[in-house]
A = this chain, B = another copy of it.
Amino acid sequence: MKHLGKQTWVIAEGYIPKYGNGPEPEFTSHETACILNTGDEEANVKITIFFSDKEPVGPYHVKVAPRRTSHLRFNNLEDPEPIPKGTDYSSVIESDVPIVVQHSRLDSRQAENALLTTIAFSQ
Protein backbone atom coordinates (compact mmCIF):
# COMPACT_ATOMS: atom_id res chain seq x y z
CA MET A 1 0.00 0.00 0.00
CA LYS A 2 1.21 3.56 -0.60
CA HIS A 3 2.17 5.89 2.24
CA LEU A 4 -1.09 7.40 3.50
CA GLY A 5 -1.27 10.53 5.65
CA LYS A 6 0.89 13.58 6.20
CA GLN A 7 4.42 14.32 7.37
CA THR A 8 3.61 16.82 10.14
CA TRP A 9 1.15 16.23 12.99
CA VAL A 10 0.31 18.26 16.09
CA ILE A 11 -1.29 17.15 19.37
CA ALA A 12 -2.04 20.31 21.34
CA GLU A 13 -3.45 18.50 24.38
CA GLY A 14 -1.03 16.50 26.48
CA TYR A 15 -1.06 15.39 30.10
CA ILE A 16 0.22 12.22 31.76
CA PRO A 17 -1.71 11.66 35.00
CA LYS A 18 0.48 11.19 38.06
CA TYR A 19 -1.02 7.93 39.19
CA GLY A 20 -3.55 5.24 38.31
CA ASN A 21 -5.69 2.41 39.59
CA GLY A 22 -6.12 -1.16 38.37
CA PRO A 23 -3.80 -3.94 37.15
CA GLU A 24 -0.60 -2.67 35.48
CA PRO A 25 0.43 -2.08 32.74
CA GLU A 26 -3.03 -2.43 31.19
CA PHE A 27 -4.62 0.15 33.51
CA THR A 28 -1.60 2.38 34.11
CA SER A 29 -2.64 5.94 33.24
CA HIS A 30 -1.00 6.71 29.92
CA GLU A 31 -1.03 8.97 26.90
CA THR A 32 -0.54 7.50 23.47
CA ALA A 33 0.26 8.64 19.94
CA CYS A 34 -0.90 5.88 17.60
CA ILE A 35 1.31 6.13 14.52
CA LEU A 36 0.51 4.18 11.37
CA ASN A 37 3.00 3.70 8.55
CA THR A 38 1.08 2.12 5.68
CA GLY A 39 3.94 2.27 3.17
CA ASP A 40 6.96 0.21 2.24
CA GLU A 41 9.64 2.52 3.65
CA GLU A 42 10.60 2.87 7.29
CA ALA A 43 9.37 6.10 8.91
CA ASN A 44 11.95 8.13 10.80
CA VAL A 45 9.88 10.11 13.28
CA LYS A 46 10.95 13.11 15.36
CA ILE A 47 8.85 14.20 18.34
CA THR A 48 9.22 17.62 19.99
CA ILE A 49 7.52 18.34 23.31
CA PHE A 50 6.32 21.86 24.18
CA PHE A 51 5.61 23.11 27.70
CA SER A 52 3.82 26.09 29.23
CA ASP A 53 6.79 27.46 31.12
CA LYS A 54 10.05 26.29 29.55
CA GLU A 55 11.75 25.72 26.20
CA PRO A 56 10.73 22.70 24.08
CA VAL A 57 12.51 19.38 24.63
CA GLY A 58 13.60 17.03 21.87
CA PRO A 59 13.62 15.75 19.33
CA TYR A 60 12.87 12.24 20.52
CA HIS A 61 13.63 9.76 17.73
CA VAL A 62 11.30 6.89 16.92
CA LYS A 63 11.23 4.50 13.98
CA VAL A 64 8.08 2.89 12.62
CA ALA A 65 8.74 -0.09 10.37
CA PRO A 66 7.08 -0.43 6.94
CA ARG A 67 3.43 -1.60 7.11
CA ARG A 68 3.38 -1.39 10.90
CA THR A 69 1.56 0.58 13.59
CA SER A 70 3.22 1.90 16.74
CA HIS A 71 1.05 2.77 19.72
CA LEU A 72 3.65 4.97 21.35
CA ARG A 73 3.24 5.71 25.05
CA PHE A 74 4.60 9.15 25.91
CA ASN A 75 5.30 7.66 29.36
CA ASN A 76 8.04 5.58 27.73
CA LEU A 77 9.99 8.39 26.04
CA GLU A 78 13.33 8.69 27.83
CA ASP A 79 15.95 10.27 25.55
CA PRO A 80 16.78 13.15 25.91
CA GLU A 81 14.65 13.08 29.12
CA PRO A 82 11.36 11.63 30.47
CA ILE A 83 8.22 13.77 30.17
CA PRO A 84 7.23 14.94 33.63
CA LYS A 85 3.88 13.65 34.96
CA GLY A 86 1.08 15.95 36.04
CA THR A 87 2.32 18.63 33.60
CA ASP A 88 0.61 20.22 30.59
CA TYR A 89 2.40 19.69 27.30
CA SER A 90 1.89 19.57 23.53
CA SER A 91 3.68 17.57 20.87
CA VAL A 92 4.74 17.97 17.26
CA ILE A 93 5.38 14.77 15.33
CA GLU A 94 7.38 14.96 12.09
CA SER A 95 8.17 12.09 9.73
CA ASP A 96 10.26 11.70 6.59
CA VAL A 97 7.39 9.77 4.95
CA PRO A 98 3.61 10.26 5.28
CA ILE A 99 2.06 8.71 8.41
CA VAL A 100 -1.25 8.96 10.29
CA VAL A 101 -1.35 9.98 13.97
CA GLN A 102 -4.20 9.59 16.46
CA HIS A 103 -4.05 10.74 20.09
CA SER A 104 -5.57 8.86 23.02
CA ARG A 105 -5.40 8.70 26.79
CA LEU A 106 -6.41 6.23 29.47
CA ASP A 107 -6.94 8.06 32.73
CA SER A 108 -7.17 5.61 35.62
CA ARG A 109 -6.70 8.00 38.53
CA GLN A 110 -10.12 7.14 39.85
CA ALA A 111 -11.65 3.69 40.27
CA GLU A 112 -13.21 3.70 36.80
CA ASN A 113 -11.04 4.50 33.81
CA ALA A 114 -11.83 7.34 31.41
CA LEU A 115 -10.84 7.44 27.76
CA LEU A 116 -10.37 10.11 25.15
CA THR A 117 -9.19 10.11 21.57
CA THR A 118 -8.93 12.40 18.55
CA ILE A 119 -7.23 12.42 15.22
CA ALA A 120 -4.30 14.82 15.46
CA PHE A 121 -3.99 18.03 13.44
CA SER A 122 -2.07 17.53 10.20
CA GLN A 123 -0.63 19.84 7.64
Contacts and interface: CB of A to CB of B under 8 A. Distances in A.
**Interface size class, chain A:** 35 or more
Interface string A76-108: 000000000000111010000000111111010
Contact of A38 (B36, B50, B69, B107): B50
B116 A115 contact: yes
A107 B102 contact: no
A119 B118 contact: yes
A67 interface: yes
Give the interface SS of chain A, mostly helix, strand, loop or mixed.
strand
A92 B12 contact: no
Interface in A7-37: 8, 10-15, 22, 32, 34-36
Contact of A67 (B55, B105, B115, B118): B55
Given A50-B69, A89-B69, A118 B121 contact: no
A14 B120 CA distance: 15
Q: Which of A102, A105, A109 has the most CB of B within 10 A?
A: A102
B34 A50 contact: no
